[in-house]
């Protein structure tokens, strides 16, 4: 929909949002009317360099032609069926995902938090059925973020985070250990523990990658204790971190892994993949989803994944991520640390510089970013970017910081 075709202005849209919508987001003062490749355009057709990609979603670029055509073709055939009949996109996507990442079984969901809910439920049911009614506890990391539904927000190790405050008691069965501290995780495992659940790179927690020693140590710990390693790859999955899945950077494999965001190329879809043994925990009626495995979303995801793999966008993410960090450390003033994995990047600034102010100053200069906390901006651009896009973003951030400082 375009404003000019509707006879509306940007002010009209903002007024309708303010009047009718329940707002829990800090809005950009910006109306996104169309998008293509590395850019999002406002109602005046002004281009904004996209370094947030719908929060790590549009990995093959905004409105990728292959994904858009897949959506149109599938929508012309069948839109929604529920999961009683077989559908072609579901089956082809299941095969593609499982064979690509080396897992046995897949279960479709709609969003990242739902995928994490499904992962938690599968692990708990597996533990209770195999070991008894006490075996359902899960250890997660402090400063983690796993979503906003009750199970996933209870797994989130941030008790003061707005996603947990004033909602009453959290779901029982979770304990928290320091990220990248293997000994602390070992100390939290009890006879009631069935799993350890972590992000390979903490995103909302400040863009902190796991060390190889930590993640391989967790895998070994889980094997020794006969418990499950659960990896939340909602944000890190599908080429974002320089490998198809972030766990491939560490040479390990989880028992269950969740995914979403980039998987659908802009369409809502998520999933968990599990080993055949653990997947047996989900039996008839134990879990379900009306829209999980939606034919149009599955068709989009199949096109997105093929595009990611055919163009080796994991390789480009690795190369461009290294180049971005190198340039950021050289060019951007008042920087405390630049870190990340692939194109999941964080710039942490010294005290006195507010990340939200930097985000808005970058917006004024037509660069889209996100802010975490008070001193860090997160950058998760489409994986198609080149050096010219990196150089442009670095120059804008540098200028924004200099003006604010």
pLDDT at res. 166: 87
Please indicate, yes or no, whether residues 153 and 16 belong to a single structural domain of this protein: no
Do residues 297 and 323 both lie within one domain? no
Tens of pLDDT, residue by residue over 274-305, are: 999 999 999 999 999 999 999 999 999 999 99
Q: What is the pLDDT of residue 160?
A: 81
- Same domain for 167 and 74, yes or no, is yes
CA angle 58, 231, 346 (to 5 degrees): 50
* pLDDT at residue 159, as a whole number: 83
Average pLDDT over all residues of the chain: 96
Please give the Cα distance from 358 to 397 (Å, whole number).
8
pLDDT digits over 72-119, tens only?
Answer: 999 999 999 989 999 999 999 999 999 999 999 999 999 999 999 999
More confident residue, 162 or 241: 241
Helix (H/G/I), strand (E/B), else coil: 60:
coil
Coil, strand or helix: which one is 159?
coil
Q: Residues of 132-157 as b/e, b for ≥16 C-beta within 10 angstroms?
A: eeebbbbbbbbbbbbbbbbbbbbbbb
| CATH number of domain containing 224 | 3.40.640.10
In a shared domain, residues 162 and 43 = no
* Residues in CB range of 100: below 8 A, 6 or more apart: 244, 305, 309
**Are residue 285 and residue 332 in the same domain, yes or no?**
no
Domain interval for residue 368 = 3-60+312-404
Query: In this predicted structure, what is the pLDDT of residue 352?
Result: 85
Between strands 335-341 and 270-274, the pairing is unpaired
- Give dist(CA 344, CA 208) in Å, integer: 10
If asked whether residues 79 and 205 sit together in one domain, one would say yes
Query: Going by DSSP bridges, is the β-strand pair 256-259/270-274 parallel, antiparallel, or unpaired?
Result: antiparallel
The reply to whether 86 and 207 lie within a common domain is yes
What DSSP letter does each residue of 316-352 carry, written as one string?
Answer: HHHHHHHHHHHHHHHH-TTEEEEEEETTEEEEEE-TT
Confidence tier at 26 by pLDDT (50, 70, 90):
confident
Q: Do both 107 and 244 map to the same domain?
A: yes
Tell me: the pLDDT tens digits for 43-81?
Answer: 999 999 999 999 999 999 999 999 999 999 999 999 999
Cα 298 to Cα 67, 121, 187, 289, distances in angstroms: 10, 23, 41, 14
Span of 24-33, 240-249, 308-317, 343-352 with lowest mean pLDDT = 24-33
Is-contact 137 123, C-beta < 8 A?
no
Tell me the pLDDT tens digit for each residue of 210-219.
Answer: 999 999 999 9
For residue 13, what pLDDT is reported? 95
Q: Are residues 329 and 306 in the same domain?
A: no
Which residues partner with 177 through β-bridges? 141
Q: Which pLDDT does position 27 carry in this prediction?
A: 85
DSSP H helix total and E strand total for the chain: 14, 17
List residues bridging with 346 in a β-sheet: 339, 378
Mean pLDDT of 374-385: 97
Q: What is the mean pLDDT of the segment spanning 257-267?
A: 98
How does pLDDT run across 320-338, given as a tens digit for each residue? 999 999 999 999 999 999 9
Any idea what the CATH number is for the domain that residue 345 is in? 3.90.1150.10
Residue that the structure tokens 């939606």 belong to: 294
pLDDT of residue 115: 98
Q: Are residues 114 and 75 in the same domain?
A: yes
Cα distance from N-terminal residue to C-terminal residue, the chain = 40
pLDDT of 195 reads 98
Q: Which of 264, 279, 310 is the last residue of a domain?
A: 310
Domain boundary residue, one of 310, 344, 373: 310
| 107 and 223 part of one domain | yes
318, 246 contact by CB (below 8 A): no
Task: Specify the number of domains making up the chain.
Answer: 2
* Domain final position from 310, 339, 365: 310
Residues 76 and 199 in one domain: yes
């Amino acid at each position: 929909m375009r404003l000019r075709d509707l006879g509306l202005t940007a002010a009209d849209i903002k007024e309708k949002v303010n009047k009718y919508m329940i707002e829990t987001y800090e809005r950009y003062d910006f109306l996104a009317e169309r998008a293509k490749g590395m850019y999002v355009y406002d109602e005046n057709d002004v281009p904004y360099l996209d370094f947030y990609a719908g929060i790590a979603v549009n990995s093959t670029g905004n409105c990728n032609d292959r994904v858009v055509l897949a959506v149109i073709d599938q929508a012309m055939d069948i839109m929604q069926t529920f999961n009683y009949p077989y559908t072609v996109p579901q089956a082809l996507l299941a095969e593609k995902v499982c064979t690509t990442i080396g897992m046995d079984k897949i279960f479709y969901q709609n969003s990242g938090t739902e995928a994490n809910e499904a992962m938690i439920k599968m692990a708990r049911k597996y533990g209770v059925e195999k070991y008894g009614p006490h075996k359902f506890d899960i250890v997660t990391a402090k400063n983690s973020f796993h979503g906003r539904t009750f199970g996933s927000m209870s797994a989130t190790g941030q008790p003061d985070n707005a996603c947990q405050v004033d909602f009453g008691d959290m779901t029982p069965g979770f304990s928290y250990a320091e990220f990248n501290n293997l000994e602390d995780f070992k100390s939290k495992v009890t006879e009631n523990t069935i799993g350890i659940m972590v992000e390979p790179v903490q995103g909302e927690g400040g863009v902190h990658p796991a060390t190889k020693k930590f993640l391989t140590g967790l895998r070994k710990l889980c094997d020794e204790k006969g418990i499950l390693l659960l990896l939340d790859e909602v944000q890190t999955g599908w080429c974002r971190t320089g490998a198809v899945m972030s766990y491939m950077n560490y040479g390990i494999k989880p028992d269950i892994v969740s995914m979403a965001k980039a998987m659908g190329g802009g369409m809502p879809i998520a999933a968990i993949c599990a080993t055949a043994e653990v997947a047996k925990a989900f039996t008839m009626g134990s879990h379900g989803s009306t829209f999980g495995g939606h034919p149009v979303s599955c068709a989009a995801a199949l096109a997105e994944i093929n595009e990611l793999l055919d163009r080796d966008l994991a390789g480009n993410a690795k190369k461009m991520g290294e180049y971005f960090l190198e340039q950021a450390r050289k060019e951007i003033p008042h920087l405390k640390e630049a870190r990340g994995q692939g194109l999941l990047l964080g710039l942490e600034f010294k005290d006195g510089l507010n990340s939200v102010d930097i985000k808005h100053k970058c917006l004024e200069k037509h660069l889209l970013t996100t802010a975490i906390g008070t001193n860090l901006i997160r950058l998760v651009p489409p994986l198609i970017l080149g050096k010219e896009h990196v150089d442009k973003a670095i120059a804008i951030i540098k200028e924004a910081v200099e003006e604010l400082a």
